[in-house]
Structure 1
Amino acid sequence: MHVFLETERLVLRRFTESDVDNLVELDSDPEVMRYLDAAATPRSEVEHDILPRFLWYYENFPHYGFWAAEDREGRFLGWFHFRPNEGAPDGEVELGYRLRKSAWGKGYATEGSLALIELGFREAAVRRVTASTMFVNSGSRRVMEKCGLRHVRTYHEEHENPLPGTEHGEVEYALTKEEWLLTSAAGG
């Protein structure tokens, strides 16, 4: 197991071919997929598209990509991503996470996100971290705020089959390295 990052309660590690079942199970929970405009992900898509894309990042970007999140006992909790978006300016990365419902409300999303943000600002050439979610996804918005990201904008996208809450739009949050350094120096 190649450990990428450890926190007080989490291990973020590289995905392997043996994680197919973990990903299929995670994406099969309707509550986990509720704000993602997606149905359960078919196993073949995990095997032939999603997992190979996750593994591709390890070959191409040392600090960016997707990581399996486990608790210290080795239980799969979900994943985090920290990667440049297509067309984003150099030094801008997107933060994201998808955790099992059993891991919600325990601070794991905040803990893993803070560790990735720190890694990005200290060791990679990250200058700005962004994250987005549906306006109505208050849990994810709270995580972003606890990590120091601030609301930048609310925007609306067209959806063929809009989810409940789509009418309220999507929100983007962001944190710059300068803002992070100020709050880190202040102990916040």
Structure 2
Amino acid sequence: MSTWTETPRLRLRRFTPADAGALAALHGDAVVMRFVEDGRPIAREVVECETLPEILAEYRTLPAEHGCFAAVIAETDQFAGWFSVRPATSRGLDRGGTEVGYRLRPAVWGRGFATEGLQAVLRKAFAELGAARVVATTMAVNTRSRRVLEKAGLGLVRTFFLEWPEYLEGAEHGDVEYALSREEWVSSTARH
């Protein structure tokens, strides 16, 4: 399977139909989904019949090399989660750019994989995909994800509030947008 990008410990590649079980387990985990969408796990049938087919279709419909990519631990080939790079279209984003995101299994949390993978995605976005600006969002109360975004080099732009169909604990604190420009990324990489 071809590699989209890699780090010393992770290999990111396109999803395949064979990833249905691993993706369903990830999206079906209540802890993983706590701060995502409506805060509820997604049923296996929905992941298999809707989510994964949408991810696979994006490889044809999004700009080249954009989409959602399975992250596997290089040493073991174990599924760790996913990272994405797409045109910025999430609710609340109105300034354009390229949006990045990630979702990882709790078993790999706290080991630096999120920051490592996100830094590789940023490198790919700026150095190869021509991104001028990269953005990401999360709930304001999602302190772990906010820390990952900051460690990867993105800076807080604003807090914003959206109307959601159902209350999600912590939503009253809003969502946050983080961003990094190409110039900031180049300057940061030149210092390291």
State whether TM-score is above 0.5.
yes
1:81 pairs, out of 75, 80, 84, with 84
Residue 47 of structure 2: aligned partner: 46
Instruction: Provide the rounded CA distance (Å) in 2 between the counterparts of 1:78 and 1:21.
Output: 12
Could you list the runs of 4 or more consecutive aligned residues of structure 1 that deviate by over 4 angstroms after TM superposition?
Answer: 87-90
Residue 70 of structure 2: aligned partner: 68
1:117 pairs, out of 101, 107, 122, with 122
Residue 182 of structure 1: aligned partner: 187
1:149 pairs, out of 154, 178, 181, with 154
Is contact 1:65-1:81 (8 Å) kept? yes
**How far is 1:41 from its partner?**
1.5
**How far is 1:140 from its partner?**
0.3
Instruction: Answer yes or no: is 1:28 the counterpart of 2:28.
Output: yes
Please, what TM-score do these two structures have when normalized by structure 2? 0.91
Instruction: Provide the rounded CA distance (Å) in 2 between the counterparts of 1:2 and 1:108.
Output: 20
Residue 56 of structure 1: aligned partner: 57
**How far is 1:88 from its partner?**
6.3
Letter in 2 for 1:14: R
Is contact 1:63-1:120 (8 Å) kept? no
Report Cα offsets for 1:117-147 as digits up to 9, x if no partner.
0111111120000000000101000010011
Please, what TM-score do these two structures have when normalized by structure 1? 0.93
Aligned residues: 186
Instruction: Provide the rounded CA distance (Å) in 2 between the counterparts of 1:113 and 1:88.
Output: 22
SS of the residue 1:21 aligns to? helix
Q: Which runs of 5+ in 1 are unaligned?
A: none
RMSD: 1.5
Q: Which range moves more in the overlay, 160-169 or 148-157? A: 160-169
